[in-house]
Chains A and B, each alone.
Chain A
Amino acid sequence: MKYLGLLFLFLLLLFSPFFWVKNGQFLGSDDQMIAVITEIKPAYHPWFSWWWRPKPEVAGLFFSLQVGIGAMVFGIGMGHHLGFKKGYKSAQRALAPRIQKDI
C-alpha cells in the first residue's frame, strides 16, 4: 500500500509531458545533441560508423528484448530469494519446532 502512492507518482510523471507539451516531437535528445555539434563545428563528420544500424521498428524490437531479458533476470533473482527464504523457514520449523526465530 505504501508503494502505491509512489507508483502513481511515477506513472503521473511518465505521462505528464503529453499533457504539458502539446505539439512536442519527442525525438531523442541525442538528435538535438548532434544538432548542437553541427552548429558549433559544421565541417565535422563522424570518422567511424558501425556496420549496421537497425531500422526504428527493429530497434524497438531490440529495446523490448533488452527490457525482457532484464525483467527475466530480475524475476529469477526475486523468485530465487523468496524460494530460499521459504525453504529456510520451513527447514527451521521442522528442525527446531520450539525455537521460532523470526528472520
Chain B
Amino acid sequence: MLVYLANVPSFLNLVTRVNPKIIKVIVWVLFITVLPDSAYAMHIAEGFLPATQCAFWSILVIPFLLWGFSSIKKVISCNPQLRTLLAMAGAFTFILSALKIPSLTGSCSHPTGVGLGAILFGPAVMSVLSFLVLIFQALLLAHGGITTLGANTFSMGVIGPLISFLIYKGLTSVKIVKSSFTVFLATVVGNVMTYITTSWQLAIAFHSNNGIMAAFIKFASVLVITQIPIAISEGILSVLVFNLLTTYGFCNPNYPHNKLASKGASL
C-alpha cells in the first residue's frame, strides 16, 4: 500500500501530461454533486465517544502504529519483492472494508479483511494498513470518524490481527487441522473479536446504572450477532485468496522472490 502511495505522484504526472484540465473538471463535478446528508457509519461514528476516551484510545494506538511502521520497513528491506504481497494484503483490506454485506439479522455490516494480512505478515503491519483504510473512510465517506480513529484502529488494526495471528501461529505449530481451516478459523475469530472490542469500547463510554456488563451485552447483541455470518463469509473469502496465493507460489519459501521471506515476513 505504502509503496503504491509513493508512486502516486508519477502516476498523476502521467495523467496530467495527457490532459491537465480533465482532472480539475472531475474534481469539481465530484464536489458539486456531493452535498451534506445524514447517514451514520459502521465503525464508531464521529463524535460518539467522549473526548477523553478518544484521546485515550488514540494514545494507546500510537506505539502499535510505530511498531507497524518499523515492521513494514523490516519486511521491505529484508525482501523488496515482498512489497507486492504487502500491497495486495492492504488492497484486500481496502476492498473488504468497503463491502456492506447483508446479514441474517436483517441488517448490514462489513468485514474487516485484516486477518489475511496478519497471517501473511504478522499483526503489526495490519495496524498501519487498517489505519490508512480508516483514514480514507473517515475523510472521504464520513464513515467512522477522525475523533474515533484511535478507538477504531485499536479494534480493527490491533486486536483483530493480533488474535488472528495468534490463532494461526498456535494451530500451525500444533498441526492438528489443515492449513485452510486454520486460516478460516483465525480470520473468523479475529473479525468477531474486532467487534467485541468495539462493543467494550462503547460499553465503557455509555453505561447506565445497570453497569458496564449489561451495556456490553446490549451493544454486542447488535454488533456481534450481525457480524457472525459476515465473519464466516470473510473467512471463506480469505481461505480462497490464501489458497490462490499459495498455489501461485507467493508463499513458497523456495521461490526466488521469497528467499528472505522467513527473515522478514513474520513480525
Contacts and interface: CB of A to CB of B under 8 A. Distances in A.
Interface stretch (B39-47, B56-64, B171-179): B39-47
Contacts of B100: 28, 63
B240 interface: yes
Given A48-B147, A59-B141, A74-B92, A53 B98 contact: no
A29 B136 CA distance: 20
B94 A69 contact: yes
A49 B47 contact: yes
Given A46-B47, A77-B91, A33 B222 contact: yes
Contact of A17 (B102, B137, B232): B102
A54 B136 CA distance: 13
B109 interface: yes
Interface in B121-158: 136-143, 145-147
Contacts of A28: 40-42, 100, 107-109
B138 A50 contact: yes
Interface residues of A, number: 63
B207 A14 contact: no
Contacts of B202: 33, 36-37
Interface residues of B, number: 83
B85 A77 contact: yes
Contacts of A63: 98, 100, 141
A40 B202 CA distance: 11
A49 B12 CA distance: 31
A7 to B, nearest CB: 6
Interface in B250-267: 250, 252, 254-257
B232 A13 contact: yes
A80 B147 CA distance: 38
Interface stretch (B14-22, B28-36, B185-193): B28-36
Nearest to A7: B240
Nearest to A72: B91
Interface in B215-246: 215, 218-219, 222-223, 226-227, 229, 232-233, 236-237, 239-240, 243-244
Contacts of A62: 140-141
A100 interface: no
B107 A32 contact: yes
A73 B37 contact: no
Contact of A10 (B43, B108, B236): B236
Interface of A: 2-3, 6-7, 9-10, 13-14, 16-18, 20-21, 24-34, 36-37, 39-41, 44, 46-50, 52-56, 58-59, 62-64, 66-67, 69-74, 76-78, 80-82, 84-85, 88, 103
Given A33-B222, A56-B39, 6 more contacts: A6-B236, A10-B236, A30-B41, A40-B206, A53-B39, A54-B142
